[in-house]
Amino acid sequence: MEVRSSVNAYLQIVKTPTVQVVLLGGGFLLLMLFATMEVLAPFDNAVIEMLVWDDMPGVIQRFFENFTALGSNEVLIFFSLAVAGFLKLTGHPKKALTLLMAVAAGLVITFVLKAGIDRPRPPLSGHQVTVLTQSFPSAHAMMSTLVYFCIARLFCFSITEIKLKIWVYSLTTLLVFVIGLSRVQLGVHWPTDVIAGWLGGGAIAAFSFYVIKWQRNLRIRSDHSK
């Protein structure tokens, strides 16, 4: 019983947005340091050799190309604007603004880091999809984590059943994982680019959750003072 209570207490701590920002952001910064120092180069090369095939079957390539499209900036911006519009129309303008600001911040941070770190793409004979920027971090992994988890969290605000929340977050995790995996499998990213993208996107999403929670607590205190 004491062990279960301790585990539950730790889980409650980890679930707080502030702790999530620190853990995910710290992990991202550490991985960025390792990437610039090429400490994890053996890991990157081993995973690339395992996942990237020269004679990949067409059905598998199309599968990953379809999922990688779900992490493109065009698709993610469309979903973000659609959800923000819905929030605005249903009386949640602050949540809509927070979502859009988080997405804008994610885009700026991602491409500033790409330009600053200037990490080359994997030196494969030919990439399976078109790429225009540098490698670290993976914009697909970072922005899909940010956008889809923000949308999932906003959706879960209206859900009370735990099993439904678990279902939503599980599907979101699977989607983000496959999008990130597709970037490695298609030969356009090192694995550490993708892992860093997941961590960085998660950190920004967690910070946006903190802002939304702060806005909600502020509104509650304002209502009580009236």
Tell me which of 2.60.40, 1.20.144, 1.10.150, 2.40.50 is the CATH number of domain 19-225.
1.20.144
Token reading at 136: 């670290």
> For the chain, what are the domain ranges?
19-225
Closest CA to 190 of 66, 86, 39, 16: 39
pLDDT digits (tens, 9 = 90+) for 65-93: 999 999 999 999 999 999 999 999 999 89
Q: Measured between alpha carbons, how far is residue 141 from residues 21, 100, 190, 214 in Å?
A: 17, 18, 12, 27
Q: What is the DSSP string of 32-97?
A: HHHHHHTTTHHHHHHHHHHH--TT--HHHHHHHHHHHHTTSHHHHHHHHHHHHHHHHHTT-HHHHH
User: What is the reported pLDDT for 8?
Assistant: 56
Confidence category of residue 1, pLDDT binned at 50, 70, 90: low
Q: What is the DSSP string of 102-126?
A: HHHHHHHHHHHHHHHH-PPPP--S-
User: What is the reported pLDDT for 54?
Assistant: 72
Token reading at 187: 């030969």
Average pLDDT, the chain: 86
Q: What is the DSSP string of 149-181?
A: HHHHHHHHTT---HHHHHHHHHHHHHHHHHHHH
d(CA 88, CA 185): 38
pTM for the full predicted model: 0.85
φ, ψ of residue 165 to 5 degrees: the values are -65, -40
d(CA 125, CA 50): 16
d(CA 84, CA 122): 36
Confidence category of residue 4, pLDDT binned at 50, 70, 90: low
pLDDT digits (tens, 9 = 90+) for 138-191: 999 999 999 999 999 998 888 888 899 999 999 999 999 999 999 998 888 999
pLDDT digits (tens, 9 = 90+) for 9-51: 555 656 677 788 889 999 999 999 998 888 899 999 999 988 8
